């Protein structure tokens, strides 16, 4: 088995063309990057603002629980059938690129919103009072106190979102969407176990590397001890499909 | 079946038994996976608590497993367990471990030291201390983990359709080709209903098992 998988990776045919590793890798990476970016641009300002004014907590916290209960597969399929657009090729994003992107953004939003909200909200109330006492306005308070102190948790949310999006992009293959999952589903259709395992190895190894890289980024930007302490009670990790 | 409307009563009537079978498969895969997960997570959590060096290995390994997408995990298990329900169950057990081990550890760590010492002073020790004092006090955390793990497992089971054992996911997988709208909607909604039902049942169980929690909250 191991020899066959190694041989699969050594065969240049498996790397070229539309179904090749390179093309699927580019699709998958672009999808992950774009969806995360869009979700951060939409979710972060809303969550940070809600945390700042201290409203919408029930929504911000429960959105993650709802996200966990809804199967990605069903959402992808619903979107691919229901949307009157987005099923065509979308440049480098591949077939059904737009429908897939929308689904990915939907599943990236909950961890970002929940963590950013909790991060800003749980900033020590005494610190906030002290900052106000020093004459800080809303904007200043947000930029100079709440955001820096909430950063570890905000970054944790983005990290979870990236891992979630990478996994969801894999499922896109189940509804004939783009991405590396296609190597796995194609292998299943050809009843080629070697190809199935090779595809799974690529997806799995990169997922682990991505998680490692994100943990590294988190350490670079925020004190670890604090991140770990405030991360523990906030929420269990979201479901990764 | 010319029209392809989202809502179709005829579909529910004529395919009732197929839907029933899919729900049954979905439920047993979920229940078996979470139950096995709990059985394995329990000794792992005890080991991690007993030996500090093991903790980061256990927690690290289960967290790493969690980042691997389900489609890839099922695919990686394929050469070992083949196109069987075992492949899906093993994959789902591995995922449930992440949450269950974490919450078990957190719950056991949350037992106050003076409670443990009082119990020791009263002659409790070994398994009796664990089962009569520590576990009951850790129950809220354990049940919280169980709820998250179960809800996640219900959703993840759908991906098992690639192996042919995905419960309601099988119906979704069929609909990829047929594009049959009522089937997608009904299967999707039933998944969510199942998840919510399991969650409420576990919540009720938690209330029954920890009657003191409610009075404490009220006080």
**Span A89-131, pLDDT tens digits:** 777 777 777 888 999 999 999 999 999 999 999 888 899 999 9
Shortest Cα–Cα distance, B13 to chain A (Å)? 22
**Span B45-101, pLDDT tens digits:** 999 999 988 888 998 898 888 889 999 999 999 999 999 999 999 999 999 999 999
Of A77, A203, A239, the CB nearest to B172: A77
ipTM of the complex: 0.87
Is A241 among the domain residues? no
The B residues from 51 to 70 touching A (CB cutoff 8 Å) are 63-64, 66-70
Sign of CA dihedral B19, B25, B29, B32: positive
**CATH code, domain carrying A22:** 1.10.3720.10
Instruction: Read off the pLDDT band of B216 (50, 70, 90).
Output: low
Instruction: Mention every residue, 6+ apart, whose C-beta is less than 8 A from residue A194.
Output: A1, A4, A5, A7, A8, A187
Sign of CA dihedral B170, B175, B180, B185: positive
Give residue A185's pLDDT: 94
Q: Do A207 and B158 touch (CB under 8 A)?
A: no
d(C-alpha A181, C-alpha A166), whole Å: 10
List the end-to-end C-alpha distance of chain A, in Å, as a whole number. 26
Of B64, B145, B191, the CB nearest to A208: B64
Average pLDDT over residues A152-174: 91
What total number of domains does chain A contain?
Answer: 1
Of B68, B102, B179, the CB nearest to A236: B102
Give residue A86's pLDDT: 65
Ordered by start, the domain boundaries in chain B are: 9-218
Q: Do B158 and A73 touch (CB under 8 A)?
A: yes
Q: Domain of A204?
A: 2-234
Is A168 among the domain residues? yes
CATH class of B9-218: mainly alpha
Is A239 among the domain residues? no
d(C-alpha A127, C-alpha A39), whole Å: 30
Shortest Cα–Cα distance, A133 to chain B (Å)? 34
**Span A42-97, pLDDT tens digits:** 999 999 999 999 888 888 888 888 888 899 999 999 988 888 776 677 777 777 77
d(C-alpha A52, C-alpha A64), whole Å: 19
């Amino acid at each position: 088995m191991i020899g066959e998988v190694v041989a699969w990776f050594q065969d240049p045919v498996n790397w070229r063309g539309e179904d090749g590793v390179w093309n699927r890798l580019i699709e998958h990476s672009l999808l992950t990057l774009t969806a995360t970016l869009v979700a951060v641009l939409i979710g972060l300002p809303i969550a940070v603002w809600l945390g700042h004014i201290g409203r919408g907590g029930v929504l911000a916290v429960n959105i993650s629980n709802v996200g966990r209960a809804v199967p990605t597969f069903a959402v992808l399929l619903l979107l691919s059938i229901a949307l009157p657009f987005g099923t065509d090729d979308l440049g480098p994003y591949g077939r059904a690129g737009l429908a897939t992107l929308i689904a990915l953004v939907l599943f990236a939003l909950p961890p970002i919103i929940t963590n950013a909200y909790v991060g800003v909200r749980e900033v020590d109330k005494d610190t906030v009072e002290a900052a106000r006492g020093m004459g800080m306005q809303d904007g200043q308070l947000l930029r100079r106190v709440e955001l820096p102190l909430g950063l570890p948790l905000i970054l944790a949310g983005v990290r979870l979102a990236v891992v979630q999006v990478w996994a969801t992009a894999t499922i896109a293959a189940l509804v004939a969407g783009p991405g590396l999952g296609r190597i796995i589903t194609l292998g299943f259709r050809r009843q080629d176990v070697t190809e199935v395992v090779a595809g799974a190895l690529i997806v799995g190894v990169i997922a682990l590397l991505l998680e490692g890289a994100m943990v590294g980024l988190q350490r670079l930007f925020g004190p670890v001890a604090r991140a770990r302490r405030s991360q523990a009670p906030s929420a269990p990790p979201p479901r990764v499909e | 079946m010319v029209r392809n409307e989202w809502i179709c009563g005829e579909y529910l009537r004529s395919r009732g038994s197929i839907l029933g079978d899919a729900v049954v498969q979905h439920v047993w895969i979920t229940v078996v996976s979470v139950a096995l997960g709990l059985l394995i997570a329990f000794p792992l959590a005890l080991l991690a608590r007993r030996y500090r060096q093991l903790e980061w290995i256990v927690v690290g390994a289960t967290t790493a497993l969690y980042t691997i997408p389900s489609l890839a995990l099922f695919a990686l298990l394929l050469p070992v367990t083949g196109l069987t329900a075992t492949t899906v169950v093993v994959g789902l057990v591995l995922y449930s471990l992440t949450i269950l081990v974490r919450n078990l550890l957190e719950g056991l760590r949350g037992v106050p030291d003076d409670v443990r010492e009082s119990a020791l002073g009263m002659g409790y020790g070994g398994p009796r201390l664990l089962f009569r004092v520590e576990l009951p006090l850790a129950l809220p955390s354990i049940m919280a983990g169980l709820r998250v793990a179960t809800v996640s497992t219900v959703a993840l089971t759908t991906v098992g359709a690639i192996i042919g054992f995905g419960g309601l996911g099988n119906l979704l997988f069929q609909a990829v080709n047929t594009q049959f709208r009522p089937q997608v909607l009904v299967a999707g909604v039933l998944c969510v209903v199942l998840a919510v039902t399991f969650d409420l049942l576990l919540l009720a169980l938690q209330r029954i098992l920890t009657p003191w929690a409610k009075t404490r909250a009220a006080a």
